[in-house]
Amino acid sequence: MNLTSKVALVTGASRGIGRAIAVELAKQGATVFCTSTKKGGCDATLAAITALGNDVAAHALVCDVSQPESVAALAKDVLASAGKLDFLVNNAGITRDGLFLRMSTDDFDDVINTNLRGAFLVCKAFSRAMAKARFGRIINIGSVVGLSGNAGQANYAASKAGLLGLTKSLAQELAGRSVTANVIAPGFIETDMTAGLSDDVKSEMLKMIPLSRFGQSSDIAQTVAFLCGDAASYITGQTLVVDGGMTM
Ligand code: NAP
């Protein structure tokens, strides 16, 4: 796959799945803009891209996707610097787990504001430029939990289910401009987000995965790269489940 001359933005690229996506797209030749909420948060990601040795340009920007003014500044910077955006990957996400009867309104709002409203704000900030360019690939990182629900994650499941409706609506509105929009729904991926789960929970989950291994960030990154490539030009409004068969 050759993504040379393409420009990508990956939100939440400081670690985990986001970092792997940024590195994979850079490996395929794309110029990559990486975001974190912290200054210097994407240093390790930029170092990993530099280590590829293929001379692609990578940039780090600070953005809190839950803050409209932060997203507006991000769009201004990316579009002023690159002049366009080909691939938008809404990856930034958080969890605030708890049983529903005890879930605070703040924990519900925080998750919705980052995972769903954040993706809405970033899509809104870039979709006009994509429509004008008559090309774009929007990839929203959902979760299998958005399809099935999950005890202890009502807020997170609602945010990820909301992404499906947002993405399908965008896919319908932007198809006429050759902009596609899809969701990738990962299962259990080994990152900081899942590192805190107990060994008991992990071994129970492993039993539910037909491919008998936890997913790696690279499994998601390669699916993103596929959706960015020419081979995926006829795919829009879809949810690609990448979970080792866990939820089939
Ligand atoms: P992670 O290791 O916790 O990384 C989360 C990323 O999101 C970090 O780069 C973080 O950046 C960024 N972020 C958090 N709040 C943000 C905000 N308000 N604005 C901008 N960026 C923000 O998580 P991960 O496991 O890689 O997950 C990445 C995505 O995959 C998430 O959307 C998650 O829901 C989804 N997912 C993960 C799994 C899994 O098993 N790991 C399964 C299904 C779906 P900073 O902290 O540097 O600011």
Across the chain, which has 248 residues, the per-10-residue mean pLDDT values are 94 98 98 98 98 96 98 98 98 98 98 99 98 98 98 98 98 98 98 94 96 98 98 98 97
For the beta sheet containing 87-90, the strands, ordered from the edge strand earlier in sequence to the opposite edge, are 58-62, 31-36, 7-10, 87-90, 136-141, 179-186, 239-242
Considering the candidates 126, 156, 188, 214, report the single residue annotated as catalytic.
156
- Both structure tokens of 79: 């579009």
Please tell me the residue having the least CA distance from ligand 1 atom 3. 193
pLDDT for res 177? 98
Taking the C-alpha atoms of residue 189 and residue 195, their distance in angstroms, rounded to an integer, is 9
- Both structure tokens of 231: 């081979």
Please answer whether residues 41 and 63 qualify as being in contact, where contact means their C-beta atoms are separated by less than 8 angstroms.
no
Please tell me the residue having the least CA distance from ligand 1 atom 34. 93
Q: Determine whether 234 is an active site residue.
A: no
pTM above 0.95, yes or no: yes
What is the position in ligand 1's atom list of the atom closest to the CA of 70?
Answer: 19
Please tell me the residue having the least CA distance from ligand 1 atom 20. 64
CA–centroid distance, 176 to ligand 1, in Å, is 31
For residue 114, what are the CA distances in angstroms to 44, 90, 118, 243? 23, 10, 5, 23
What is the position in ligand 1's atom list of the atom closest to the CA of 114?
Answer: 18
Residue 18 Cβ < 6 Å to ligand 1: yes
pLDDT for res 1? 66
pLDDT for res 16? 98
CA–centroid distance, 105 to ligand 1, in Å, is 21
The helix/strand/coil state of 158 is helix
Closest by CA position to 188, among listed 169, 171, 201: 201
Phi and psi at residue 189, in whole multiples of 5°?
-115, 135
Residue 66 Cβ < 6 Å to ligand 1: yes
Please answer whether residues 13 and 45 qualify as being in contact, where contact means their C-beta atoms are separated by less than 8 angstroms.
yes
